[in-house]
Structure 1
């Protein structure tokens, strides 16, 4: 799984991307985003980086909640163009800036952001741990990293319901609401989420955050385990970026 897959699968969908998040999260995606922004707001940031920003949903929510200057980055240019439209509609052109960039090679100096957020990213990178370390590199000492990802419900009964929904209902809903392209995405997402956590259990994610120099790492399962919010603080004694 890599970013090329993400670009291919989601090509042509940016204008309706938020609908996909709504469907896959059972309508809970806005609540999940608020949980991420809650963590960021706790450090009263002046500068925030939002990685895999897509159409800038979390970037705009962060800007509105905290008043921070926000840079959103994404590899998918059509997604970013949809984000530009959203930023202009919100009247936050001077506060939110969108840039094409890879999460694995961020074009920023170390330690320049008070907070870094990312969402629905780690399934699409070759090395999740290295990607987390790269995002942590951009944090100032004491800064916060916060993330949102889809997850597989741990309760067996809910996991069966989730499996049926993602393998059967989601592709059908996608086809009915967006045609062939949405059918393709609906078929892709459920298996990709399951496969990711078979390779990288949550404990591995927590270990990667610690290895990246983050402490007080928190994990919160949302909506019966369909969503995963994580956060951690960069070691306040850090003196510079990771090599």
Structure 2
């Protein structure tokens, strides 16, 4: 774990940025573990390239150009591994989000039957349009399962609602009754957004760690390859 601060590496990669996500706690830590690990490895990995660059300068058998090429070779391998880690963390969070979205959008049709449910729907349908949503929201906040099941567990038109209204209210109900899942979903989305924002920094940070532009290293590699052809038997 990169608990120490490496001033050579952008703080944007420090795993503390994941732990700073709103809602990060015991309920969400496991969901964000993959993202946190990816940031931790990136923070350490970029630092290792800085270390390799400095070590290359001490090799008496290498010129400055040799050291630069070898540092870039190491950085390329590190970048590939880290990019895979970011991709994996992104895919995992995507699956978590999809699963939580399904859980928080499940229909409750089986609870919308019976004479009492019919009476409740009729009552709601008779309310002015501007009062229906408020009435149902109050039922959700109060945990009134009978009213919620009757209105949201039956066809929308029976209560004077649109399918879109029912979808929104159903989501409110699930989030109210399962706050842990709702918190996990918010944290997972924040983690996914953070990965998307920070992953592109990897290439810039690696270039800084190597100490030269990619174009210059490619020129050196080409010159080295051309020179080595003279030694082929």
Shorter-chain-normalised TM-score: which range? Answer: under 0.3
Higher relative contact order (CA 8 A, sep 6+): 2
Larger strand fraction of residues: 1
Larger Rg: 1 or 2? 2
TM-score (norm 2): 0.27
TM-score (norm 1): 0.26
